[in-house]
């Protein structure tokens, strides 16, 4: 009888934690600040992990052998994601534009042009007075699940007409965007790459999706470069007969 009561209490606690995680996650999307969105996502992940811990505890109470196996697997899975290099992945796509590097960089490195060719970007504004330079802070409005979130980025590196590196200001992960333009016999070799490092909690919960995330990021970056190409190489206006 006592065992059933313990299992019922654990089950109700698991349900409560999962419902709480869902509500917290949804509330983050409806905010405006990307840092608030990130903090609520992390809180949601903590609640989810706590729910999984209670599920394993419930198995340990009801079926100790199975619970022990699950606990061991969970420990090894968590330990695997502790090193930062296990949670980090790079994505890079390249394309050749039939235009001089200066013409491509003039658009690609102009942050006010980002909404025209970068997916999910609604608006980009330079907060630091003066021209774009290393250390400049950029305010970027992104559209996530139909809601607009405001994120801030800092210019990590800038070589005029060659390279621009931006870092998203977050607390629990690492997000970089790297834009490069190099001379090519046919015009310019354009590289759009990025480095992403998941937080430990995020990796424990979604690390199994890393291959799919890489493909998704690569596809989005490729599509962004194609949109950039249409700006750098506008389609000719058809002449009327």
Residue 240: inside a domain? no
Query: Which pair of structure tokens corresponds to residue 55?
Result: 């599920």
Answer with the one of 42, 57, 80 that is the final residue of a domain: 80
pLDDT in tens, 186-240: 999 999 999 999 999 999 999 999 999 899 999 999 999 999 999 998 644 444 4
Residues 112 and 219 in one domain: yes
Which stretches within 30-144 are classed as H helix? Answer: 34-62, 64-80, 101-108, 114-117
112-115 contacts, C-beta under 8 A, 24 or more apart: 113/231, 114/140
Give this prediction's pTM. 0.84
Domain that holds residue 226: 85-232
Average pLDDT over residues 28-39: 82
pLDDT value at residue 29: 67
pLDDT in tens, 101-122: 999 999 999 999 999 999 889 9
Residue 241: inside a domain? no
């Amino acid at each position: 009888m006592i065992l059933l009561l313990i299992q019922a209490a654990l089950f109700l606690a698991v349900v409560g934690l999962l419902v709480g995680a869902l509500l917290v996650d949804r509330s983050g999307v409806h905010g405006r600040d990307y840092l608030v969105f990130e903090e609520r996502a992390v809180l949601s992940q903590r609640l989810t992990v706590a729910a999984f811990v209670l599920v394993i505890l419930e198995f340990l109470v009801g079926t100790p052998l199975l619970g022990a196996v699950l606990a061991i697997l969970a420990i090894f899975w968590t330990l695997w994601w502790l090193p930062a290099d296990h949670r980090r992945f790079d994505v890079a796509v390249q394309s050749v534009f039939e235009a001089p590097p200066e013409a491509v960089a003039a658009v690609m490195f102009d942050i006010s042009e980002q909404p025209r060719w970068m997916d999910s970007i609604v608006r980009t504004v330079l907060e630091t007075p003066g021209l774009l330079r290393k250390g400049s802070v950029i305010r970027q409005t992104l559209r996530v699940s139909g809601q607009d979130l405001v994120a801030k980025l800092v210019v990590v590196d800038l070589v005029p007409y060659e390279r621009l590196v931006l870092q998203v200001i977050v607390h629990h992960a690492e997000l970089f965007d790297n834009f490069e333009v190099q001379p090519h016999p046919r015009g310019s070799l354009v590289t759009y790459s990025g480095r992403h490092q998941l937080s430990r909690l995020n990796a424990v919960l979604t690390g199994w999706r890393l291959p799919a995330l890489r493909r998704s990021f690569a596809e989005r970056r490729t599509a962004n470069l194609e949109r950039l190409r249409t700006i750098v190489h506008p389609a000719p206006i058809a002449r009327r007969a």
